[in-house]
């Protein structure tokens, strides 16, 4: 098979919200040859604000690359075997920098930062006829108005950080999501770095037209942002440029995907009707709708799934984004201190299952509710507490919440798209919790399938980069990976009764921050 040359390696830079990693995969396989991962720091300067340091992001990525190459060399491999590198990244997080100095003009405003609630409120006032319709721009960009997406974050920077405004006026300000920031720097930065993004990342900014895949003047006008700050939109699989320095010098960067889209590719959900859920800080469920762009009327996002080359047709997905999943477990550990470690959630929640009155419901709407509700005013709510309630119930209710939120998304997808999913591919850190996986099957009635390959996100980026270099035929030669399965055990009635109570709890969480 000309597409599989085992001596050739693909690299993936996977820059997530909590950590970055660099992974080298063997050609045409999910076999990891060498990898290195490093945690990122996050700061919370004010209630609802979430920031990261762009220079630290870059440094950590470089450290991961060098450490992985050291491991490769120690194994007897060579950098010359690396055919290409792909980039995958936390989406929506917004960085602005000065193109003449290369210096960031502010910290990265992380996707789940809520500071732009007021900005969004002000923008809603601009909607014609005073309707304050959150979905006013949705026909153009596939997204509702929310602090989640990049446009409101750039607007906030323009309005609140004089340095940013000044650089914009002078034509020196560049904006990018994390992929753009990394690619610009790795390809030379102020000395000729390429300022690009891919269609999947661009589809999360609220500035790209979801049909034309170009920056839309109407959207730019609505947000009053200058087009000079924008990267060029490219496909997800093509050579954007070459690494300028370090061990990867001269290696092409040939693939780019937002991390959730990358997991969709890595899970090989390349056919219409296939879906995956990634359980990380949040939980993101993407449903491949193929060449058809489905407009959601039930709170889902229309997003680009991938575009395998500049002349290829884009593939679309419906997405259900849940802001808080793993972050709620961290909260139990760090804020409530009822959980010694993240990994203890399973054992402690299992104890709750032995106690009859486990009727506690927890809606972890810490940063409002994302899909399908899009309620930035919602706040966390725990209901059903009795004298018998103990910490195990709260932990169990947290796991239930992750599953109910996924069910909310599946219900919306079914309404929008009509087809009921029978199988859900899963990945991400929380899938190590097998109780959670069983509950996910029980509470949704869908079989949950987890491939043995844990790094779906990185794999997707390596696949598209390999595809661009014509050394990995991802559509023609599917990988067969062993998988674990969980089938639903609850009766339909049990499932529905519990779900009805969840909906009641969600009602109570809404409209709190008035």
Which lies closer to ligand G3P via its Cβ, residue 151 or residue 469? 151
Contact (CB, 8 A) for 178 and 15: yes
The CA–CA distances, whole Å, from 357 to 309, 344, 376, 390, 499 equal 55, 21, 32, 10, 16
The least CB distance from residue 289 to ligand G3P, in Å, is 19
| Cis? peptide before 372, omega within 30° of 0 | yes
Whole-Å CA distances, 187 to 53, 191, 192, 229, 252? 20, 9, 7, 18, 9
- Kindly state the smallest distance separating residue 127's Cβ from ligand G3P, in Å: 24
Between 92 and 98, name the residue whose CB sits nearer to ligand G3P. 92
Which of 90, 117 has the CB closer to ligand G3P? 90
CB of 148 to ligand G3P, least distance (A): 7
Which is it for strands 423-427 and 275-279: parallel, antiparallel or unpaired?
parallel
By C-beta, is 280 or 445 nearer to ligand G3P?
280
**Cα(5)–Cα(26) distance, integer angstroms:** 9
Residues found near ligand G3P in the complex (CB under 6 A): 16-17, 90-92, 111, 258-260, 280-282
For residue 120, the minimal CB distance to ligand G3P (Å) is: 17
Residue 8 or 425: the one with the smaller Cβ distance to ligand G3P is 425
Element (H, E) at 369: none
Closest alpha carbon to 178 in 110, 80, 253: 110
Q: Which is nearer to ligand G3P, 223 or 284 (CB)?
A: 284
Q: Which is nearer to ligand G3P, 173 or 257 (CB)?
A: 257
- Beta strand 252-258 with 173-176: parallel, antiparallel or unpaired? unpaired
Tokens read off for 214: 């170009």
Among residues 27 and 413, whose Cβ is nearest to ligand G3P? 413
Nearest CB to ligand G3P, comparing residues 283 and 349: 283
CB of 147 to ligand G3P, least distance (A): 12
Q: For residues 362-386, b (16+ Cβ closer than 10 Å) or e, as one string?
A: bbbbbbbbbbbbbbbebbbbbbbee
Q: 148 with 321: CB under 8 angstroms?
A: yes
Structure-token match 């609220």, residue found: 206
As a whole number of angstroms, the distance between CA 417 and CA 387 comes to 43
- Minimum gap (Å) between residue 284 Cβ and ligand G3P: 6
Cβ at position 93, least distance to ligand G3P in Å: 8
- Nearest distance, CB of residue 122 and ligand G3P, angstroms: 23
For 168, the token pair is 């914009």
CB of 307 to ligand G3P, least distance (A): 18
Kindly provide the residue ranges of all beta strands, DSSP E only, lying in 27-146, ordered along the sequence.
32-39, 51-52, 82-89, 95-98, 108-109
Residue 108, both tokens: 């990265």
Instruction: Quote the CA–CA distance of 157 and 175 in Å, as a whole number.
Output: 11
**Beta carbons within 8 Å of 9's beta carbon, 6+ residues apart:** 24, 25, 26, 27, 33, 72, 77, 81, 82, 83
C-alpha 503 chain-centroid distance: 25
CB of 282 to ligand G3P, least distance (A): 6
Report yes or no: 269 and 457 within 8 Å, Cβ to Cβ: no
Residue whose CB is less far from ligand G3P, 216 or 319: 319
Q: Which residue of the chain is nearest ligand G3P when measured via CB?
A: 280
In whole angstroms, the minimum distance from the beta carbon of 13 to ligand G3P comes to 13
Closest to ligand G3P by CB, 8 or 150: 150
């Amino acid at each position: 098979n000309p597409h599989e040359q085992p001596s050739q390696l693909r690299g993936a830079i996977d820059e997530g919200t909590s950590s970055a990693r660099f992974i080298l995969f063997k050609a045409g396989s999910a076999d990891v040859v060498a990898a290195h991962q490093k945690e990122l720091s996050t700061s919370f300067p004010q209630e609802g604000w979430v920031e990261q340091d762009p220079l630290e992001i870059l440094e950590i990525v470089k450290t991961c690359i060098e450490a992985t190459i050291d491991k490769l060399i120690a194994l007897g491999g060579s950098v010359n075997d690396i055919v290409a590198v792909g980039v995958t990244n936390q989406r929506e997080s917004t960085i602005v920098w000065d193109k003449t100095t290369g210096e960031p003009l502010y910290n990265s405003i992380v996707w789940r930062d809520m500071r732009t609630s007021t900005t969004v409120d002000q923008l809603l006032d601009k909607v014609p006829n005073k309707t304050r319709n959150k979905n006013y721009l949705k026909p153009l960009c596939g997204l509702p108005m929310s602090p989640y997406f990049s446009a409101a974050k750039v607007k906030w920077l323009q309005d609140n950080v004089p340095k940013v405004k000044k650089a914009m006026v002078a034509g020196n300000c560049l904006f990018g999501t994390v992929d753009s920031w990394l690619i610009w720097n790795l390809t030379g930065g102020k000395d000729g770095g390429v300022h690009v993004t891919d269609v999947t990342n661009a589809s999360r900014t609220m500035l790209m037209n979801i049909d034309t895949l170009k920056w839309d003047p109407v959207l730019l006008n609505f947000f009053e942002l200058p087009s000079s700050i924008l990267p060029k939109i490219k496909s997800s699989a093509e050579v954007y440029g070459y690494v300028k320095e370090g061990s990867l010098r001269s290696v092409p960067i040939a693939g780019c995907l937002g991390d959730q889209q990358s997991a969709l590719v890595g899970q090989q959900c390349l056919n219409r009707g296939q879906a995956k859920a990634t359980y990380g800080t949040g939980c993101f469920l993407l449903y491949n709708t193929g060449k058809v762009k489905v407009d959601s009327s039930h709170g889902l996002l229309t997003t680009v799934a991938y575009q395998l080359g500049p002349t290829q047709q884009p593939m679309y997905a419906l997405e259900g984004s849940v802001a808080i999943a793993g972050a709620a477990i961290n909260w139990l550990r760090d804020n409530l201190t009822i959980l010694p470690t993240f990994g203890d959630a399973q054992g402690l929640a299992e104890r709750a299952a032995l106690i009859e009155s486990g009727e506690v419901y927890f809606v972890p709407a810490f940063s409002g509710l994302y899909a399908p509700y899009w309620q930035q005013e919602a706040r966390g709510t725990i209901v059903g507490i009795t004298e018998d309630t103990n910490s195990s119930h709260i932990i169990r209710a947290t796991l239930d919440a992750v599953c109910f939120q996924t069910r909310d998304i599946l219900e919306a997808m079914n309404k929008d798209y009509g087809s009921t999913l029978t199988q859900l591919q899963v990945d991400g850190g929380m899938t190590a919790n097998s109780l959670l996986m069983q509950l996910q099957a029980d509470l949704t009635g869908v079989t949950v399938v987890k491939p043995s390959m844990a790094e779906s996100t990185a794999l997707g980026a390596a696949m598209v980069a390999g595809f661009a270099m014509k050394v990995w035929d991802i559509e023609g030669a599917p990988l067969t990976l062993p998988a674990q399965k969980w089938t639903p055990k609850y009766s339909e009635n049990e499932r529905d009764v519990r779900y009805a109570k969840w909906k009641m709890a969600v009602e109570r969480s809404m409209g709190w921050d008035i």
